[in-house]
Each structure stands twice: as C-alpha cells, then as structure tokens.
A and B are shown apart, each in its own frame.
Chain A
C-alpha cells in the first residue's frame, strides 16, 4: 500500500467517492460549530467591539489561501517528476479554490480595516503580498484556460507554479522590506508566550479545521469533475473515430 496507488484515476475515484460524504459532513459540522460559536457565543473585544468576529472568516481563509498554493506546488512537482495525471488535475482543481480564499481574505480584511484602521486598503506588506498572490492565481488559471492540449497545459502551468513560488517568496520579503506593517503580527503561534485569548482561540481553531476540510472537500470534488470531464472527452474522441 503506497500513496502512489492513488495516482491511478480509478483507485482515486473509488477512494474519493467513499471519502467525499465524510469530508462534506465534517466540514459542515466544524464550520457551523466554529462560526456559530465564534459569532454568537464569544464576548466582544473591549476595543474592537463586535468587528473582532470577522477573524473567524479572515484568518482561516488567509491561511488556506497560502496552503492552497503550497499544495499546488507539491502536486505540480509530482506531475513534473512522476507524470501522474491525477496530480496535475488536482493542481488545476485547487487554483480557483485558492483564489476564492485569497479574495475572501482580502474582502473581509477590507471590511474590518475600514472601521479599525480607517481605510479599506493600505499598502501594508501582508495586504500587498496577498494582492500579488491574487495575480499569481489569475495568471496560473489563465494559462490553464489558454492552452488547448491538456498535457501541454499541465506542463506549462507546473513550470509556472515552480517559478512563481520562488518569486512569490521573494515578493513577500521584498514588500516586507519596502514598507512597515500596519497589520498585527501572528498571535496563534504555538511557541509564543503571548497569544490571543482562549475565548477567541478555541472557536478559531474549529474554524481553521473547518476551512481545511472545506478546501479538501472542494479539491476532491473538483478533481473528480476534472477526471470525469477527461473521461468524457476520451469517450467522445473514441466515438468520432468509430
């Protein structure tokens, strides 16, 4: 039993068909619990009032926006090295999900920033990095859409993802260098003395878990769709020949 078994589309479809309902159920349970707990059963912050509650959407989506890119990087590497189609399709499936998380993070951040910082947008390093990440996602998806041959598209987008990752990392340090931040620092780290209070931390943890599972669910679903679309194409091509 090795992980490479799932490179077989048939095996992947079987396993994901079994796993998908579980993933959906767990996502719903965790998100409902986390969001309801966070929105209705936590106290207001003494300074920020109830706007603090946007954290339950903002932080998990921002985390997943970055993690989705990392997942695309790993699957692109697997495609380049071992040429498993499921891997390339999973990367393709993850990109719109990642872009959506990025946009959620940007929009919720703007909604929170307006009353708190007094502005919708500031050229803060984190905000700028996310804007650049949005551009990367858009370019990646546009390249998938522009190339007709699926294998060529998979190759080109994988190369773009690898190079883009390096430059995304560079940009992150460049913007840090370029402007001092308005954004608050990390307050969830496991190795720090001072973190956000437990009252906010526990529901946030549930929300993060919910967003991780939401991502897994969406990617499984979208990868299954891609595989089915690929099969449909093959069937149509075969009929045309026959």
Chain B
C-alpha cells in the first residue's frame, strides 16, 4: 500500500502528471474574480468564503478522471485488482494520493489567495481548518465518481455530472464554516457536520467505489 501511494505521488509530481493544474486553476480564479467583480473590499470580503470553496471544489474536479483512467488504460488497474491487497484499500490509497496532490496544496495556498479576496481577518483559521476537514471528502467522493466512469470513453463530462450533486453538502457546510468564522458567529455545528461527511465518506465510499471498479473490469 505504501508502494502504491509513493508510485501515485511520483506519477503525479513528474511532468505531465497534472499536479499544478488544480493549483493554477485555483490561483487564476482567485485573481480573476476580483477583476470581474470589482475592487470594492466589502463585496469581495462577503463573497470570499464561497468563492474560495467553489474554487477548491472545481480545482479538485479537474483532476478526478486521472485517479483511475490512466491505470485503466495501461492495464495496471487489472493488476491492482488481482493484487493481494483488497480493492477497497487500493481505492482508499488512491483517494489519499489525490488528496495529497490536490486537496492539501489547495488548503495550504488558500490563505494566501484569501488576501486577494479580502477575506475578513477572523476567517483565515477557519478557512484552513474547513478545507483541511472538507477536501478529503471531495477526493473520496471524486474517487467514487471516477470508479463509476472508469470504463467509459469520454467519461469526463459524465463524471462531473455525477459528482457535482454529491459535492453539494460538503460545499454548503464548508462555505458556511468560513462565512460564520469571518463574521465571528458560532460555527461548531457546520464544522462537526463537515468532519462527519469526510469521515463517513472515507469510511464507506471505498466499498462502493471498489464494487463499481469490479463491475467495470468484468
């Protein structure tokens, strides 16, 4: 499992691995939104939590189809399916690798980009915390979507259509945490629910994703 994780990370970081794509998208979005909306600090600060969360979500979405598609094309997914570790673990490791190359860097650069968007000072800590708790759910749900569409040619569009409604609760609670944090309100409830979604998705979805892969490899 460790070897698989290292292999996935190495593949992602080498050139053409798509590591920078999500980050670049997130960066561009945070720069373009103020240019489009106008430089007025109050407006930007109010929409900053939502923009940052939507940006992180879309940046995650960009690289989802890489989770299984490449391995499916060159046949290594078949090898992994017959490997001694269970397919559920393979899915979990691949989702973890996806999170390490997209979710985690996004979380780390988010406070820097929040400066562009004029996020109120109280929001920074909660932004990082909510992304840290929420982006794993994005990766795991995305891995499930990628597993469902792995056998399809041109599965990319279908993948986004399937995954978007599944992302709704994460986005709502994540955005809510930051918004409340920025306004200095109580935020224990959305924070706990966000963590619950991540934990629940990480615990259960690998099973669903693994069964989908088995169907697709049949």
Q: What residues of chain A have their CB less than 8 Å away from a CB belonging to chain B?
A: 132, 135-136, 138-139, 142-143, 146-147, 152, 155-156, 159-160, 162-164, 167-168, 170-171, 173-175, 177-178
Contact = CB atoms under 8 A, between A and B. Distances in A.
A142 to B, nearest CB: 6
Given A143-B148, A146-B155, A160 B172 contact: no
Best-surrounded residue of A136, A162, A163 (most CB of chain B within 10 A): A163
Interface residues of B, number: 28
A58 B149 CA distance: 35
Contacts of B190: 177
B111 interface: no
Nearest to A173: B169
B100 interface: no
Given A156-B148, A159-B148, A175-B172, A143 B215 contact: no
A5 B208 CA distance: 29
A171 B190 CA distance: 13
Contacts of B176: 177-178
B152 A135 contact: no
Contact of B197 (A142, A143, A170): A170
B18 interface: no
Nearest to B205: A163
A167 B168 contact: yes
Tell me the dominant secondary structure on chain A's binding face. helix
A167 B158 contact: no
A163 B216 CA distance: 17
A164 B148 CA distance: 12
Contacts of B144: 163
A152 B215 contact: yes
Nearest 8 pairs of A and B residues by beta carbon = A174-B169, A135-B165, A155-B215, A170-B169, A174-B172, A139-B162, A171-B168, A139-B161
Nearest to A128: B168
A152 B189 CA distance: 40
Interface in B119-158: 144, 148-149, 151-152, 155, 158
B148 A160 contact: yes
Best-surrounded residue of B149, B158, B169, B176 (most CB of chain A within 10 A): B169
Contacts of B208: 159, 162-163
